[in-house]
């Protein structure tokens, strides 16, 4: 199979994978937006789902976020968060996802008067059902909105701590330009003091210096996106030496004009340099593809071999927050699938 130009979709689906970079609010399909808007009495700026989907023509990250935050306002009750999360898990299962680590934005909800209790109750109920029905394990990672103040992030962290048993790490997302990781150093210091892991979006639209800051000031366990590292050879050498995972979202990068097309994406170049590259979907409802779609896009667009695809799957497990024993179990299964496909 290594010599095939295109690896079969079924083979890509069969390979066990973890998804480490998905915003649950970004799985809100237009049809669900309108269903929840009608249920909750929310008036939208678009007449129907088709018109809303046509608006998904983004020039950059900010043009996406402008529509993204409009969609979020239809999420009101715990049941809304349940439906949203369960629908994502069902799709993830169809794509061969065995473990997922889901971002959500507390401030997008609490600033609208939605309680954290409702958010956690709905999401956790879906995660429990997803594990029972599909066998998908999961972790939750609330993210701070970097376009808001560090003080607001610290207040959010304190509000989250009573729910400490329901999440394993904190992250940093939203508008990157002009909002460096250093802005949130004290918040992340406090999070680590509480025993939380940390991750951060860096080097998507922001400069390589933001990745350095995420590493040295926020002490992250993973860099979300990180494709901007390629402009800094010293940084690339460090990322490779430390095997610092990058959770790359190829279709998102194309949709938001980080790269002009998939053939120009740097995932394979960075993989060839020894970096720990993984593939995720980011906000799949907005960017035209869930995890399997992203694997297919990079495999065909970058002509990845089966060995390279398998390495991406391995990396997703290695970079996850699963226990070491759980990682070993899935890595063994990945090798079995790899060997069967190449026999």
| pLDDT at position 2 over 80 | no
**Whole-angstrom distance, CA of residue 276 vs CA of residue 270:** 8
148-159 residue pLDDT tens: 999 999 999 999
258-301 residue pLDDT tens: 999 999 999 999 999 999 999 999 999 999 899 999 999 999 99
Tokens of 73: 């306002």
**So what's the pLDDT on residue 174?**
94
- Answer yes or no: is 105 a known binding residue: no
**So what's the pLDDT on residue 59?**
80
Domains in the chain, CATH or no CATH each: 9-342 (3.20.20.140)
**So what's the pLDDT on residue 5?**
57
Contact 337, 98 (CB under 8 A): no
- Answer yes or no: is 93 a known binding residue: no
Contact 59, 139 (CB under 8 A): no
- Answer yes or no: is 10 a known binding residue: no
| 97-104 and 246-248 strand pairing | unpaired
pLDDT class of 66 with cuts at 50, 70, 90: confident
Give the relative orientation of helices 233-242 and 208-216 as an angle to the nearest 10 degrees. Answer: 40
User: Quick one: DSSP state of residue 277?
Assistant: E
Mean pLDDT across 5-31: 93
**Whole-angstrom distance, CA of residue 234 vs CA of residue 242:** 12
**Whole-angstrom distance, CA of residue 92 vs CA of residue 285:** 13
Q: What is the mean pLDDT of the chain?
A: 95
- Answer yes or no: is 21 a known binding residue: yes
pLDDT class of 166 with cuts at 50, 70, 90: very high
**Whole-angstrom distance, CA of residue 68 vs CA of residue 144:** 16
Residue among 265, 294, 249 nearest 64 (CA): 249
**Whole-angstrom distance, CA of residue 110 vs CA of residue 243:** 36
Tokens of 81: 């968060």
For residue 60, what are the contacts with CB-CB under 8 A and spacing of at least 6?
A: 205, 256, 257
202-254 residue pLDDT tens: 999 999 999 999 999 999 999 999 999 999 999 999 999 999 999 999 999 99
Mean pLDDT across 76-99: 98
**Whole-angstrom distance, CA of residue 156 vs CA of residue 150:** 10
Handedness of CA 176, 177, 182, 186 (dihedral sign): negative
Q: Which of 43-52, 133-142, 151-160, 304-313 has the lowest mean pLDDT?
A: 43-52
Catalytic residues: 204
Percentage of the chain exceeding pLDDT 90: 88
Q: Which of 48-62, 203-217, 218-232, 327-341 has the lowest mean pLDDT?
A: 48-62
- Answer yes or no: is 158 a known binding residue: no
Other CB atoms within 10 Å distance of the CB of residue 187? 23
**Whole-angstrom distance, CA of residue 236 vs CA of residue 231:** 8
Contact 73, 66 (CB under 8 A): no
């Amino acid at each position: 199979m290594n010599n095939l130009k295109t690896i079969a979709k079924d083979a890509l689906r069969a390979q066990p994978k973890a998804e480490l970079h998905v915003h649950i609010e970004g799985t809100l399909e237009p049809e669900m937006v309108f269903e929840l808007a009608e249920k909750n009495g929310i008036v939208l700026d678009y007449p129907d789902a088709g018109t809303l989907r046509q608006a998904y023509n983004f020039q950059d990250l900010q043009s996406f976020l402008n529509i993204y935050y409009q969609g979020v306002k239809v999420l009101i009750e715990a049941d809304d968060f349940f439906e949203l999360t369960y629908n994502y898990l069902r799709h993830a299962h169809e794509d061969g996802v065995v473990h997922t680590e889901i971002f959500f934005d507390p401030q997008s909800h609490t600033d609208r008067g939605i309680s954290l209790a409702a958010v956690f109750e709905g999401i956790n109920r879906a995660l429990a059902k997803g594990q029972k029905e599909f066998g998908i394990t999961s972790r939750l990672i609330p993210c701070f909105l970097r376009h808001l103040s560090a003080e607001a992030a610290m207040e959010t962290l304190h509000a989250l701590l009573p729910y400490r048993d329901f999440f394993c790490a904190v992250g940093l997302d939203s508008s990157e330009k002009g909002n460096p990781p250093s802005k949130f150093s004290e918040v992340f210091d406090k999070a680590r003091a509480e025993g939380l892991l940390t991750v951060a979006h860096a080097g998507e639209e922001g400069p390589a210096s933001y990745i350095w800051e995420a590493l040295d000031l926020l002490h992250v366990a993973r860099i979300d996106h990180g494709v901007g590292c390629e402009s800094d050879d010293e940084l690339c050498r460090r990322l490779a030496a430390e095997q610092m995972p990058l959770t790359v979202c190829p279709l998102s990068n194309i949709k938001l004009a980080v790269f002009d097309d998939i053939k120009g994406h740097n995932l394979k170049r960075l993989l060839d340099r020894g970096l720990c590259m993984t593939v995720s979907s980011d906000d799949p409802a907005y960017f035209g593809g869930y995890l399997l779609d992203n694997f297919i896009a990079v495999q065909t667009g970058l002509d990845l071999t089966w060995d390279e695809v398998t390495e991406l799957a391995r990396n997703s497990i290695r970079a996850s927050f699963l226990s070491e024993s759980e990682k070993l179990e899935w890595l063994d299964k990945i090798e079995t699938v790899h060997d069967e496909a190449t026999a």
